[in-house]
Amino acid sequence: MLGAMNRNLTRRAWLGLAAIAVAAWRPRPARAQGYLANLAPEEPIGETMKRLFGGRPIKDGASVITIDMPLIAEDGGSVPIAVDVKSPMTAENHVKAIYILAEKNPRPLNVKIGLTPAAGQAYVVTNLRLADSGPIRVVAETGDGSLWIATRDVRVTVAGCAA
């Protein structure tokens, strides 16, 4: 009798513990993605490059990547950038991702743009927040996994307190 109760309690306790464990291990719901743990870590650009591209070689893409940005940005909170990567955008040979990184931002990756051949061009325009004057790096990743990089210096008059 006592033994059975003990076993019961034990089983109940075990189930309780299991339930707590499951609750604790459940990933954060979609509505809570804004916490720091879900953001890229604050780190120097070198760490970000390592995290994103590992030790893969990155070729000089100055001849294939065109970055159109103002030389002097008056408002770091909104700096327009246009990136154009020369690519035939066929299934065999296309740009599958464009990464825009600001060296002086605490979290250097501004945005990653994934593209498919249906885009027809490897092109994107957006507005960035820049924390300080410094180089902007644009990395293009092609379908076969090779990486190309181009950089552009931008002077920021009023910092964008960026991210």
Partner 1 sequence: MADIGRVKLAVPGSVRRGSVARVRALVIHPQERVERQGGRSVDRNYRFVNRVVVTYLGREIALIEPSTAVSENPTFTIPFRATEAGPLKVTFFDSHGVKFEGTAEVKVT
Binding residues for partner 1, per CB under 8 A? 29-40, 42, 77-79, 82, 89, 102, 105-107, 109-116, 118-121, 123-130, 160-163
Distance CA 45, CA 61 (A): 18
**C-beta of residue 139 within 8 angstroms of C-beta of residue 147:** yes
**Minimum CB distance to partner 1, residue 142 (Å):** 16
Considering the complex, state which of residue 104 and residue 148 has its C-beta at the smaller distance from partner 1. 104
**Minimum CB distance to partner 1, residue 131 (Å):** 8
**Minimum CB distance to partner 1, residue 161 (Å):** 6
Considering the complex, state which of residue 94 and residue 149 has its C-beta at the smaller distance from partner 1. 94
Joined together, the tokens standing for residue 84 give: 């154009």
**Minimum CB distance to partner 1, residue 25 (Å):** 20
**C-beta of residue 138 within 8 angstroms of C-beta of residue 125:** no
**C-beta of residue 66 within 8 angstroms of C-beta of residue 136:** no
> Whats the size of the chain, residue-wise?
163
β-strands 147-158, 122-128 pairing: unpaired
The CA-atom distances, in angstroms, between 119 and each of 84, 96, 124 are: 12, 10, 10
Distance CA 93, CA 123 (A): 15
Considering the complex, state which of residue 17 and residue 72 has its C-beta at the smaller distance from partner 1. 72
Considering the complex, state which of residue 16 and residue 135 has its C-beta at the smaller distance from partner 1. 135
Considering the complex, state which of residue 105 and residue 141 has its C-beta at the smaller distance from partner 1. 105
Distance CA 150, CA 69 (A): 13
**Minimum CB distance to partner 1, residue 158 (Å):** 13
